[in-house]
A and B are shown apart, each in its own frame.
Chain A
Amino acid sequence: MIWNPNKECMSRDEMSALQGKRLHKIVEYVYHNVPFYRNKLQEMDIRPDDIQTIEDIKKLPFTTKKDLRDNYPFGLQAAPQSEIIRVHASSGTTGNPTIVGYTRKDIGVWSECMARCLTAYGITRDDTFSVAYGYGLFTGGLGAHYGVEHLGASVIPAGTGNTEKHLKLIRDLGITGIACTPSYALYLAETMDKLGITKDQIKLRAGAFGAEPWTESMRKEIESRLGLKGYNLYGLSEIMGPCVSYECQEQNGSHICEDHFYPEIINPVTLENLPNGQSGELVFTTLTKEGMPLLRYRTRDLCSLMTGQCNCGRTSIRMGRIEGRSDDMLIIRGINVFPSQVESVVLSMPEFAPRYMLVVDRVNNLDTLQVQVELRQEFFTATFDTPAAIDELEKKLAAKLKSVLSISAKVQLKAPGTIERSQGKSAHIIDKRNL
């Protein structure tokens, strides 16, 4: 089933023409409404009229997470505040979250694209669909929620947590679809085992999994334990939220809603465009966004693009699995974590040496984060000669980390001089998750 065959199955020529027209319009729009872009374009001597076809996109400047940070909170917003009806926020690298405002039309486009995803997963208005992403500032919960409503299925806003009650509802209400992180899906399976609920007692048929990296073997495990088919759902809040791309029944790459989000793959070092099929950094331009339109936003996600008509009938370009990151961002329990965030917290406490190590693992299918810090020799005074005093110090750091990272981390105190002095950024991280 296809939600919007007009767009999802458009001929390539028509799609390029539509993208070119929309690109011209969005460049004109940001030129007149976002000083940041007007200055950039003027510096490069580009006028909106220079951008007529989608090929002209290569003339445009890139946008990075740093640009969002530097223009915190509303510097890149194009629409007047009176037109903004919702604001989401995602984690940033230095304590400032990324703020994304949406107009009524943006929410409409988001719901439309999300409905495309759900339809590709085989969800119809006859389904009962549970959204188990976090609701709130994170785009996952509300983004998926509005899509389910737009499609016309019954939405169960389960959110995260209270897993036992959620499982009871899955069984008793005959819930047929679910959206959550893949690790939460596995956690559901574990909880089912614990409660003695078998997969024959539940009717889950399709799962929309995203917001964190996952592997084929995780997919197989989720599918066999929950008795459903698991589909990839990709998105990022800077561009919109979940809905940017989705797998169809063929599961041969994720179809991009390219009439709204134009993808490119670049070499992250030279910034040159790479041919389709080659792996590089994924870049998106929002072609229709009003609230915070972005030109050539560098996602830092590494993947490749696939062209050609899919067996499902869709003609839209597809992206392969995310192969990694071109920066050192970690995704832990669906939340973006930057080592520099941890660094800023550690540096703010004189009790610790300016060194740390992040150890990420997956225990019982849930991501865990351990932050190792070194006690500074001169701060180890007579006050600390009982475990209670040291525990308190650990708790103080853990609380600060929690408020900055939005996820809890376990603090492990190390003796002075025992954490390896790192050379590069990635040396701060041990990721045992094997993704």
Chain B
Amino acid sequence: MTIHQLSIFLENTAGSLVQVLRQLKKANVQLVAITIADTAEYGILRVVCAEPTRACEELKKAGIAVAISDVFALKLDNEPGCAADVIELFSQAGISIAYVYTFLYEGKGILVFRTDNTELARETIVKNNLPFIDEDALAQWR
């Protein structure tokens, strides 16, 4: 029900982002979405890609601080208010969300989020029959 996301520690110095992206290019990894959570001194690059496990291994070999985090990726209807409706469900269930971002997949908006309350989030998704994408969907991304 979740997808693997790469979380990568980046220094706030020129060239540190491109260094990571270059490694992913070298490993022929197909990127799906990238976003950066930044502070004054460093950033955390979050990457959704095809073959995340292999991508993670390649980055580790290059000496980069990288970890795999499991995040939820829900399909949204392309209508105003749909993000609000979905997040409302989690909010009502008492689930706090650490971070959120979106990307497009097969013409649909995908809402990615991470929560520490994974079990409750799963229950909420099942109970409300929310459409999601999983690892298999990502593997077919080409």
Contacts and interface: CB of A to CB of B under 8 A. Distances in A.
Interface of A: 375, 377, 380-382, 384-387, 390-391, 412-418
- A-B pairs, 9 with minimum CB distance: A385-B7, A380-B65, A382-B69, A385-B69, A381-B67, A417-B63, A382-B67, A387-B39, A415-B11
Contact of A416 (B39, B65, B70): B65
A385 B38 CA distance: 11
Nearest to A382: B69
A385 B66 CA distance: 9
A387 B16 CA distance: 17
B10 interface: yes
Interface string B21-42: 0000000000000000111011
Contacts, number: 58
Contact of A377 (B5, B10, B11, B65): B65
A386 B100 CA distance: 12
B128 to A, nearest CB: 26
Interface residues of B, number: 25
Contacts of A387: 37-39, 42, 44
B11 A385 contact: no
A380 B67 contact: yes
B10 A412 contact: no
Contacts of A386: 37, 44, 98-99
Interface string B67-78: 111100000000
Interface in B43-100: 44, 46, 60, 63-70, 98-99
Contacts of B60: 377
B41 A415 contact: no
B44 A385 contact: yes
A389 B74 CA distance: 25
B15 to A, nearest CB: 11
Contacts of A377: 60, 63-66
A242 B1 CA distance: 69
Contacts of B10: 415
28 contacts: A377-B66, A380-B65, A380-B66, A382-B7, A382-B70, A384-B7, A384-B9, A385-B5, A385-B7, A385-B69, A386-B37, A386-B98, A387-B37, A387-B38, A387-B39, A387-B42, A387-B44, A390-B39, A390-B42, A391-B39, A412-B41, A413-B9, A414-B11, A415-B16, A415-B64, A416-B63, A417-B63, A418-B11
